[in-house]
Amino acid sequence: MAKGFGSVKVNWKVGLRVKKETIVKLYVDVAMTVFFFIMLSYQLTEDIIHEIMGMLVFILFIVHNFLNRNWYKALVKGRYTVVRIIRTVVNMLLLAAVLGIVISAFSISQIVIPFSKWIDIPYAREIHMFCAYWAFILIAVHIGLHWSIMIGMVCKKNKEKEPGLWKNWSAKIVAAFIALYGIYAFVKREIGSYLLLYNSYAFWNFEEWAGWFFIDLFAMMGLCIFFTYYIIKWIQKLKYN
């Protein structure tokens, strides 16, 4: 009896620790995404704000990877399914994009990195912009790959096995609307030109309400999450997961 009670106590402590880690991960990811949004609106902020946000995002990115260090340990273990291959490729590309942002920042920084004037990286500004927009897309895809976990957390909090019919269809309609507007925002903001390195300077319409920029970013992120989530569901239905 004593042994069984002790086992329950240990399991309870382990469960509490896992829950705390999950909450910390969520806060880190949300903060990183918000700061990244602010970074992309650098025309509205001074250089020092942009660079400080960049440093904060990089620090949070390191924290995020530390909290998920077990993922790296498991890279050489287990079978690689289609879904796992997609997740691994997306994560590696995101890591490369962030490193591209950081390395190029060493050359173009004006304030935070005082020795940047001695670092000359050819086309550093173009690389910085290219990697930043690809990081934005890959962050959204990364979230989409884990969206089912988010849905599960919400259902668990509401003590539901799965969303009810009304909630399910309401969420799908809202998601579809965000995705459709995201397509419009993607074209409007000419995101493709940055992703293809056709344009390395962001145009800013100062006559437009600044809030529309963040709404458009949110919608474009929603678009990537929407398509990623449903593509993964489709792959899993085909039993290629």
> What is this structure's pTM?
0.83
Q: Please tell me the predicted confidence (pLDDT) of residue 98.
A: 94
What is the C-alpha separation between 155 and 180, in angstroms, rounded? 26
DSSP state of 77: S
How does pLDDT run across 162-176, given as a tens digit for each residue? 666 677 788 889 999
Sequence-ordered list of residues with C-beta below 8 angstroms from that of 185, at least 6 positions apart, any chain: 215, 216, 217, 219, 220, 223
Q: Smallest Cα–Cα separation from 44: which of 206, 168, 220, 221?
A: 206
What is the C-alpha separation between 218 and 215, in angstroms, rounded? 5
What is the C-alpha separation between 218 and 85, in angstroms, rounded? 27
How does pLDDT run across 67-120, given as a tens digit for each residue? 999 999 999 999 999 999 999 999 999 999 999 999 998 888 877 777 666 677
> Given a cut of 60, is residue 16 above it in pLDDT?
no
